[in-house]
Structure 1
Amino acid sequence: MNFLKTAGTVVKSTFTSSGLEKPEYEVVAKHDGYEERHYAASKWVSTKSKGMKLEDASRKSFFKLFDYIQGKNAKEQKIDMTAPVATLIEPGAGPNCESTFTMSFFVPPSNSTDTPEPTNPDLFLQTWPAQTFFVRQFGGFTSDEKWLEHAKSLGECLTGKEKFHEQFYYTAGYDSPFKLFGRTNEVWFLKKEEEQAKE
């Protein structure tokens, strides 16, 4: 919660819980406990860090990305805040090993063809291909424990039913830290395409 409060102080006027551009997707199927979504190709600005806790990694990563959209880029151009803030989590090999966290802001379509290059060497631009995710949605404020709980629940729902990449998952947060009710959070597992599943 400390990180959320700190972040909220900075982004109150920019990051609201409604009216933000989001990646384009279509719902392929709805199931008990999750839905399958196909996302169009999209561009993101990202930064990678290592650590034991998502909240600690998020604190540093968020402000690097926020500075970028506020104009600390090669064109000194401001870019609209979008949603969600997505974080790829690659868990460490053991309980006492650091995980790798890649936090990303979605680049709005109006900036996707001529996206300003980051000036911070810790940031980089990514183009995500069209891909399919299995998504579990939940409300409330989050914590490392809650993210992990919902990722495990989603993994249990998928096991034996779907082909998915089990070695990593994504968290996705949609709301301003000021929004107290009706919050939207998601965990995503990437679907294995048929040709990948056969490898």
Structure 2
Amino acid sequence: MEGKAAKHEARVPTHAEAPRTFQRMLSGRRLHLLDPSSIDLEITDLLIGISRVNRWCGQTVGEVGFNVAHHCCVVERVLVEMVWPAAPLGARRWALAHDLPEAVYGDVVTPVKAVLGQPYRELEHRLEVALCLALGFGTTVPEDWRRQVKRADTIAAVSEAVRLAGWSEAEARKLVGGGYRGRLWDGPLEPWDERTARSNWLEQFRAAGGRA
């Protein structure tokens, strides 16, 4: 009985089952955090959010934090320049957009995600479905897009860990990259301020056929 009760308590409620679950966005829209809808999503709202969320718990070199919007720009460049030169425009847009949910839920580091478990994964999934619909991808993206963007994301993360966050290369490859042995990103990584990150993100998104 205790196990069943714990499992029930861990279920993520919908907005109809909980107190206030929405966030008023700068566009004026109300985004339900537990049960998001694609019609409530404004890409520029989420972009503002990820430009103000720092990766690596803010523990990176320099006077400006390395924000999630900048990371997404790096992932898109890694995808095209190292992983999938013939990547379709949609996959490039997904590389830029894949971390937009972190505007709502933050950049939760991997060890904490493991503790939060299924409820957190469910929250991410709900917002990702709404995001995919808002971007015109349907309820999900093709598996090959997801797989290739994940590889680019891994390369970017290991490179950031080594060059920005003080990890040794061996430790970063093993613990951040899951044993990744390939080449690291050697392009620019000096952190951008939030305004520059938003501008560059939009430029790359529009170059990949996106509208925002």
> TM-score surpassing 0.5?
no
Larger Rg: 2
| More helix, by proportion | 2
TM-score for the superposition, normalised by structure 2: 0.26
